Amino acid sequence: VLEDAHTVRLATGEAVRAKYVLIATGGAPNHGAVIPGIEHVISSNEAFHLPKLPRRILIQGGGYIALEFACIFAGFGSDVTVIYRGENVLRGFDEDVRTHVRSEMEKAGITVLTGCTVKQVDKHAHDFTSHLSNGSSIASDQVMFAVGRHPNIKGLGLDKAGVAINPENGGIAVDGFSKTSVDNIYAIGDVTHRINLTPVAIREGHAFADTVFGKREVRVDHTDIPTAVFCQPEVGTVGLTEDQACERFSKVDIFKATFRPMKATMSGRDTRMLMKLVVDATTDRVVGCHIVGDGAAEMVQVLGIAVKMKATKADFDATMALHPTAAEELVTMRTPSARHVRAAAE
């Protein structure tokens, strides 16, 4: 616990003084609104310590953690129902990605109910009943909420040290170099509630060390960060969505392909991949790549380099395809599936 800007009190009672303090306490699951029976709900923390596999599980949430656990439990054979308050899962992702993931999950037997929330959870002798905002109810052996995470700032003594909180996101307020409102105190990772991804926190830690102790200022660039959702099918994405690109650029070309990959065809699996490139048609720069399917994360990690280097669609077209791979679609799509032209302002 911080006692002042330079003093930290440990759990042992010992006080430690330091010239610099780095706060990297991460985040914690947040169940959202308090509802009757919330004490019966587990989070992603408790999901790793269940005494047995639930035969039926209801998961509320539509983001990374909710969908990943939904697919994990379904893969083990559980009957899974996903409840999400929005119109579709994976808010903030490209609309084609959201639609494709939901369709594939439902084909795999996962029930996805959107536009509703859990209003109450009743505990019985051996199971639970979740009452939904649409008037229906669902019985299950476990109820899990994965509706978000909040910065781990409670009880740290931030007020004593004068560390300010960002009123917009509830995380510790920092500048571009991860410095807080107190000159010698820094914060990185999920506790700042900027972009809550492990590699981002690691990069911010490197930048802090370089800036404070390496005698060279390093500012982390939070644009064009590749990210993945390890659900089934897997999602990998980097750059702008189609909607974001249309808001930013006057002309946008969309290149899109959906297909059964060869290994799915040969194995008889009824699964389809989605690959999508978002291009600023004025400069020909590829500003977004979105993949849904096996190996999506691995592909997008490499595609992230191309997007960061401002590669053009012509660069993609000039790259020889590697056959037979699913990724060859990324360099063989020649005709736009859609072109958006924003009307000039009067």
pTM, two decimals, is: 0.92
Cβ burial, residue 128 (10 Å; 0-12/13-18/19+) = buried
Pair of tokens at residue 269 = 């699996």
In the structure, what pLDDT confidence band is assigned to residue 344 with cuts at 50, 70 and 90? low
Decide if 335 is inside a domain. Answer: yes
Residue ending a domain, among 147, 178, 203, is 147
Q: Does residue 2 contact residue 153 with C-beta atoms inside 8 Å?
A: no
Q: Minimum mean pLDDT among 196-205, 262-271, 282-291: which range?
A: 262-271
**CA end-to-end span of the chain, whole Å?**
57
Catalytic residue among 49, 124, 323, 340: 323
**128 neighbors 143 (Cβ within 8 angstroms):** yes
78 and 132 in a single domain? The answer is yes
Structure-token match 């899962």, residue found: 89
When divided into structural domains, the chain yields a total of 3
Among 100, 127, 147, the domain-final residue is: 147
Same-domain check for residues 128 and 231:
no
pLDDT reported for residue 277: 98
CA 29 to mean position of chain CA atoms = 14
- The CA–CA distances, whole Å, from 116 to 137, 144, 327 equal 11, 15, 37
18 & 159 share domain: yes
- Domain range spanning residue 68? 31-147
Q: Is 283 contained in some domain?
A: yes
Would 54 be classed as within a structural domain?
yes
Residue 201 parent element (H or E): helix 198-213
d(CA 192, CA 206): 16
The 10 Å CB-count burial string (b at 16+, else e) for 165-194 is beeeeebbbbeebbbbebeebbbbbbbbbb
Question: What is the domain-level CATH number for residue 236?
Answer: 3.30.390.30
The pLDDT assigned to 331 comes to 97
CA–CA separation, 225 and 254 (whole Å): 20
Summarised one tens digit per residue, pLDDT across range 31-50 is: 988 999 999 999 999 999 99
Are residues 84 and 113 in contact, defined by beta-carbon separation less than 8 angstroms? yes
In CATH, what number is assigned to the domain containing residue 139? Answer: 3.50.50.60
Task: Write phi, then psi, for 220 (nearest 5 degrees).
Answer: -75, 130
The full DSSP string for 298-327 is HHHHHHHHHHHTT-BHHHHHHSPP-SS-SG
Which residue type is seen at 272?
A: R
299 part of a folded domain:
yes
Stretch 317-328: mean pLDDT: 95
Sign of the torsion formed by the C-alpha atoms of 307, 302, 276 and 88 = negative
SS (HEC) of 108-145: CCCEEEECCCEEEEEECCCCEEEEECCCCEEEECEEEE
- From the list 295, 287, 286, the residue with the least C-alpha distance to 317 is 286
Mean pLDDT of 238-256: 98
Mean pLDDT, the chain, integer = 96
179 has a pLDDT exceeding 60: yes
Q: Return contacts of 85-89, CB within 8 angstroms, 24+ apart.
A: 85/114, 85/115, 85/116, 85/117, 86/62, 86/114, 86/115, 87/114, 87/115, 88/62, 88/114, 89/62, 89/63, 89/114
Q: Is residue 94 part of a domain?
A: yes
31 labelled catalytic: no
Last residue of a domain, one of 124, 147, 170: 147
Same domain? 125 vs 273:
no
* Domain match, 40 and 116 both: yes
- Whether residue 143 sits in one domain with residue 67: yes
Asked if 156 and 134 sit in the same domain, the reply is no
Query: Does some domain include residue 219?
Result: no
- Is the domain of 134 the same as that of 154? no
| 50, 142 contact by CB (below 8 A) | yes
Q: Is the pLDDT of residue 102 over 50?
A: yes
> Is 222 part of a structural domain of the chain?
no
Examine the domain organization and report whether 132 and 158 are in the same domain.
Answer: no
157 and 139 both lie in a single domain? no
Contact 195, 225 (CB under 8 A): yes
Reduced 3-state DSSP string for 208-274: HHHHHHCCCCCCCCCCCCCEEECCCCCEEEEECCHHHHHHHCCEEEEEEEEECCHHHHHHCCCCCEE
Same structural domain, 138 and 85: yes
Counting residues of the chain whose pLDDT is more than 90, the rounded percentage is 94
Indicate whether 76 and 8 sit together in one domain: no
Report yes or no on 256 lying in a domain: yes
User: What pLDDT sits at residue 262?
Assistant: 78
Q: Omega into 324 within 30° of 0, i.e. cis?
A: yes
